[in-house]
Each structure stands twice: as structure tokens, then as C-alpha cells.
A and B are shown apart, each in its own frame.
Chain A
Amino acid sequence: MEMTQTATPESPRDWPTLLGDNARTCGQGPIKLHFPEKAAWQYRAGSAVRSAPVLREGSLYVASVSGVLHAIDVATGRSKWKFQSEGQVHATPSLFENIVLFGCDDGKVYALDRHSGEKRWEAASQAEVWSSPVIRDGVVYFGSADGKVYAVDAGSGHVKWSQGLGGRVYSTPYAAEHQLYVGCGDGKVYCLAADSGKILWETPTGNGIDSSPAVASGLVLIGSEDFSVYALNASTGEVRWKYETGLGIASSPAVLGDFAAIGSKDGFLYAFDAQTGQLRWKTEVGEVVTAPPAIADGALCIQAGGLFALDPANGKIVWRAHLGTAIQSVPVLTGDGIYIASLSGEIYALR
């Protein structure tokens, strides 16, 4: 099956959505996947990891729940540096130029020098930040449990604007050129003006939203706790299609061309035609799926109690790794291996 790459960052300086791009590749782009045969190294983070790693230039960045951001040398599996924040961390880090950013339960977003771990700046909200910061055109956007979306300067952390919504914001925004799209605990999908935070449209779903949107070909794709996947017109918020799964959706869609995939708490991974909402296949991959899938060239990967690779053409599981620990994260897929984090705090390099 051919999949055309779309909606990747327009500038290498940008990180416009959760895990870098619509395919949720952690900034790697949809690479040709080599299925590993063994664990090359294992790194112990010292506490649970409930977010996904990100990778740039030989360094893997992983946040553990105990509040430590770890920079790990992927060649050796050894620590390069650690940074201790002042709260627990459940947010997936993001990368922008030479800084690594992450949200924290102390209400702050931290920006660190990614080479040294030295703090460059911090930006404060009034409650925990579980959404992953996104960056576009030098502006960092993030949601907070205080019910607001914040825009801060990527160089200084100074707040440019904040916009209150109707519920907690755990969804990671998608930053388009002029708009910001985000789900909210009040059950609505919001479109905000990127330069002011003004609400341009809002579309209700049937329950709160934990999922993070992807935006592709004029559609905003997102899951809701009301069990459904939604595709909304990005300009108007009009519902173009929706598809009901068996339980709530905390997972986020991965999109490449006209191919979209998302997990559901019913344990299935669903694949759709992104434009029409027609179901291409669904495959049971675990008891519960809350993590987003990640798309490689010719493979779709999901962590749901184990790590699975599926054939995107038919949904058949073509490879799996049983690592003995519960996992609900997102793998970093590279040409020479896979990096994964587990709830028990181990980071693995599989090669």
C-alpha cells in the first residue's frame, strides 16, 4: 500500500504536534523499519515512565514520573545528563532547535539546553501540564489542567497569550500556520487563532477529550471519550465523519496521506480512510489501548502491553516484542532500531 507523507513540519525548526509530526514519529519521519531481534541495552530511569521518548542526533530524551528528564546516549545506553524538575512528569518532551521542552505537574513547562541539561527558561501555568509542548514559528503552545492554552516565546518563555477553555486541557495542540487545534475535558474540540488565542470555532463531542488532534488535508482528526473518532472540517469545525468504537478513546490518531490509525480502550487499533472515515481494518492488540500508534514506511507500530508492528495494508500483526512489562507509550522508530519506554521505568534499545 502506498502512503504519501503529508503534514510533516514545514520547517525543521518546528514541532507542530504531538511527537513531531502527524505520523507520530518522534521527529524521525516515517523511516523504513528494520524489525529488531534483541535488546541492545536497557536503561533504568528509576521510576515509572508514562510518556514517550523523543530522539535527536544520538540523544534520547525521556521523562520519568519522578520528575527527572533523562538524556541518554543511544550508542551506549548511558546517561548524558539528568534534570530534576519540581513535580511529577507525565508529558512527552518536545524538541526545538537546541532546547528540549517538557510539561510538569508543578504547572511549569521547562526548556533545557539539550546538550547540557541546563535550564534556559520556565513558563508557569496554574495546574499540571500533561500536554506536550508544540512549537511553530518560534512560539511554544501547551495546554494545562487549569483549563487554559498558553502561547509563550520559544526563546524566553514569556507568555504571549493564554486562553481559557471549558475544561482541563490534557490534549496536545496541533499548531497550523494560523490556527491552533486542541481537545478539551469539556468535550469540545477548539480552534484558536495562533496569534491571539481567540476562539474561532468549537465543536462538541459526547464526552471529555484526552486525545490529541492531527490535522491533514483540511481535516482535524481526534478521538473522544464518547467512544468515537471525529473528522472535523478544519475551517469550520463541521463534523465530516465520525466512527464509533467499543469504548472511550484516549489514544491519538497517526496520519500519513489518506491513511489514519487510532487505538481505543476496547483494545483494538482502527485504520481508516482519512478523507471518508471508511474503516479499512481493525485489529485487537491488547486489553486496552491508550497510546497513539506510530507510522513507519510499510509498518504501523503500537505499544499496548507489548510492542506490535502491523501491516498497514491489512492490519495483520507482522512482528511483536514481549518485554515482560506493561507498556502504554510510543516507540521511537529509526533505521537501525527501536527505542521504547515502559511503565516500570525501563528504556530499551532494540536492534
Chain B
Amino acid sequence: MDRRTFVKASCIGSASLLMQGLNPMMRADSLPSLPPIELHGLPDYPASPLGMPGLFRGRVIEIREPKAIVGNRVTQSIVSRMLDQAMTELTGEKSVRDAWAKFIDPKDIIGIKINPSGAPACCSSPEIIREIIDAVRSVGVPPRNIVVYDRYSYEMDIGSYQALLPIGVRIVGIQDAFTIGMDGYEPNVYCDANFFGEWETRSYMARIVAHEVTKIINVPTMKDHSASGVTGALKNLAYGTFNNVARTHQPPHSFTNPLIGLMCTVEPLRSRSVLHIMDGMRLVWHGGPLTQIQDFIEQPGILMVATDPVAMDTVELEAIDKKRREHGAPSVWEHEPSSITSDGNLFYHDAAKNLFYRQPGHIAAAGKLGLGIFDPKQIDHRLISA
């Protein structure tokens, strides 16, 4: 059976969302209209109970320790303790190893999806990745079965992950940022939509996700995103797994809502993504995802863990919007035409300006697709101290 899904405004999938009282496909800027979106997953792939929203739907553990990052440097021994504490709190297990074993089997091939976009100013901290690798190995997974990956090898190089991670672990950039081609992508697993009249209407899933790894640990960062509102667990998975995604936003409009959530439903991405560990050592409240301007980057020393990416991103969204309020910047929900600029330099230096109408509604849309809880009142958000 071809697990083919067809989504458009008049189809049942979208209608069911409307019936639940929220139309995540509705966009405040209202233009242009949403085109049909076809989703082609891996045929006959069995859904896993570990897949999103996973074992702990609606639960988000947030742990803060300002001393974890001082002068832009992360202290590995502190993040090690934070991760242990968060994992036992998430799972209810007394032993750290048992906590990890709820998600990982020694026979698994573990993919660690990092976010090097924005390196070196804000990217997944190598110190946290090293701790995750240690934890995975403690369950019995050998280093050769651990793959740290992202779409762009060039961005991984800037983060120096290749030199900083343990011997034996594979470090894979799916493609180069400056060349194009299908190498590294599965031609039969894709999302197809024509958003702005582009010639290539398909976004293909990375082969490493479709065929190599058996579990994915997702390590997003906490960042504002000029097109999607924030980039968190959902966007790191979706736009870091499928290629040809920049075409979904053309100033000032963005189809990141609903595409981010839709991509996360495609198998096997959905079933294999079992754990999300958000690196909030740094928090970008404007200029994301690529800014290098330290004026918009704070260092709160946050670590969050969850199996539910929607709940996690809902917490992240509020944290970033709160930070924007503190700085007098408009909300990521604002869709004021006078805020839009086509001047990239102005955007990077003025928090009141943006290149797109941001689409933070992509998180609620993902919730409506069954990927998790987006109602803050229903989220079991546990804030613990290190």
C-alpha cells in the first residue's frame, strides 16, 4: 500500500481540523491560498508507539542552570548533570540508564539530528551532543551505530562537530549547502506542493532517515525564525530531513504552516523520532535562524526534554515571545505590514522588522495533526532547578 496522503483546504484531513475549532491552515496574512500538498511516506511502514508524540504526550521537562554557560562557553560536567536529571524526571525512572533504555535498544542505529544552522553563534552544543552519545552508549549501542547528522555538511564544519565528537561515531552532512542534487535523498518519499510556481515541487526525505537509522534523537536549539516564528523540535526535524524547503517561504509569505507539521507526520520520520532534547544554552530572540549578532542572543542555560515536539515547541514559543516582550520587540504572532522589510541588513539589526509574516501557528497545526499537545493548559510543563 502506498501511504499517500493528500491534503488541501477542502479535503477530509483539513476539514477534520476545522471541526475541532481551530483551523491551523488559516493564515493571518491570508495570501496566497494554500495549494494541495501530497505526502508520500515509506510504503507499509508500521507506526511505532514510540513515535511522535511518543511515550509522554504533553510532558515537557525544563531545567535551568545559568552556570551551565558562562561567557558563551558550555560546561560539559554541568550539562551532564542537567541531562541526567531531566531524563529521570521525564521517564520517572530512578536510574539514568533505565531512563534512556525506555527509548533505545542496543541493536538500534541511533541518529542524532543536530541543528548547526546558525553556527557558530547558536547551534547544538557539542558538549550536549557528547553527553547524549555517552548516554546512548551506556545502553549498549556501539559508537559505529551512532550517526550525528544534519542536512548541510558545511554548517556542521563551522560547528567543528567532526573534530569534537568521540571516535567511532559517524558524522554525516546529507548535502552540501552550495551544490544541488539527489544524492543522499530517497526518491520515493517526498512532499509535493507548488507554493509559488516553483519548477521543482517536491521535497525528498533524507535517505539516512528513510533507510539507515532506527531511532532519532532530535536536538533543536531555541531560536526565533523569520518565516516559521520559531525553530524548535518540529522544524528541526521537518526542514532538516527534507530537501528543497527554502521554496516554502517567499517574502513576505511563508507556508511553513502547515508544511512543518505535515512533514513530521511522514513515515518513517514520525515513528523514528522518539526523543527531543532542546538545547537552550543560548536563546535567539530575533534574527533567527542564522543571526550571528550577539545583541539578540541570550544565554539562559536551559535544557528541555520531551517526547512530544508540539508541547516542547509550545513552551519554546512562549519563552521566545516573552523575551521579545521584555526587549520591546513585537510578538512573533504580529502580522503588521509595516513590520515587513526586504532589507536583510535592516532585519538583522532591528527586532521590529521581519522578512516574512511569521507562522508560529505551525505548532498548533502540528498538534491538530496528532503530533502532540499545543494547549498550554494541557501541557505538563515541569520546571526544575539543576
- Chain A positions within 8 Å of B, measured between CB atoms, are 47-48, 50, 65, 90, 127, 130, 145-147, 167-168, 170-171, 185, 206-210, 225-227, 246-248, 250, 265-267, 287-288, 290, 325-326, 342-345
- Pair A343/B158 contact, Cβ less than 8 Å: no
> Is residue B177 contacting chain A, with contact meaning CB distance below 8 A?
yes
Question: Can you name the residue of chain A whose Cβ is closest to the Cβ of B130?
Answer: A208
The complex places the Cα of A265 from the Cα of B308 at a distance, in Å, of 34
Q: How far is the CB of A323 from chain B (nearest CB, A)?
A: 13
**Helix, strand, loop or mixed for chain B's interface?**
loop
**Helix, strand, loop or mixed for chain A's interface?**
loop
Give the 5 A-B residue pairs with the shortest CB-CB distance, closest first: A208-B164, A210-B163, A265-B120, A147-B167, A344-B178
Pick 16 A–B contacts, CB within 8 A, sort by A: A48-B154, A48-B178, A185-B163, A207-B126, A207-B164, A210-B164, A225-B163, A226-B73, A227-B72, A227-B73, A247-B72, A248-B160, A250-B163, A288-B158, A344-B178, A345-B178
The complex places the Cα of A177 from the Cα of B158 at a distance, in Å, of 33
> Is residue B165 contacting chain A, with contact meaning CB distance below 8 A?
yes
Chain A residues near B126: list those with CB within 8 A: 207-208, 225
Q: How far is the CB of B175 from chain A (nearest CB, A)?
A: 10
> Is residue B85 contacting chain A, with contact meaning CB distance below 8 A?
no
- Pair A206/B158 contact, Cβ less than 8 Å: no
Number of residue pairs A-B, CB distance < 8 angstroms: 88
> Is residue B201 contacting chain A, with contact meaning CB distance below 8 A?
no
Question: Can you name the residue of chain B whose Cβ is closest to the Cβ of A46?
Answer: B179
Knowing A247-B120, A288-B158, A345-B178, the reply to whether A225 touches B164 (Cβ < 8 A) is yes
- Pair A343/B120 contact, Cβ less than 8 Å: no
The complex places the Cα of A167 from the Cα of B164 at a distance, in Å, of 8
Q: Which of B115-171 contact A (CB under 8 A)?
A: 119-121, 126, 153-154, 157-158, 160, 162-168
Q: How far is the CB of A89 from chain B (nearest CB, A)?
A: 12
> Is residue B176 contacting chain A, with contact meaning CB distance below 8 A?
yes
Chain A residues near B292: list those with CB within 8 A: 267, 287-288
- Pair A168/B120 contact, Cβ less than 8 Å: no
Chain A residues near B73: list those with CB within 8 A: 206-207, 226-227
| Sample of 11 further A-B pairs with CB below 8 A, known A145-B162, A170-B163, A206-B73 | A50-B154, A50-B157, A90-B157, A146-B168, A168-B166, A170-B162, A208-B126, A210-B162, A250-B163, A343-B178, A345-B178
Chain B residues near A248: list those with CB within 8 A: 120, 160
> Among B153, B162, B163, B179, which residue has its beta carbon within 8 angstroms of that of A345?
B179
The complex places the Cα of A227 from the Cα of B70 at a distance, in Å, of 13
Question: Can you name the residue of chain B whose Cβ is closest to the Cβ of A210?
Answer: B163
Q: Which of B56-111 contact A (CB under 8 A)?
A: 72-73
- Pair A47/B163 contact, Cβ less than 8 Å: no
- Pair B178/A168 contact, Cβ less than 8 Å: no
- Pair B178/A209 contact, Cβ less than 8 Å: no
- Pair B120/A167 contact, Cβ less than 8 Å: no
- Pair A210/B160 contact, Cβ less than 8 Å: yes
Chain A residues near B166: list those with CB within 8 A: 167-168
Q: How far is the CB of A148 from chain B (nearest CB, A)?
A: 9
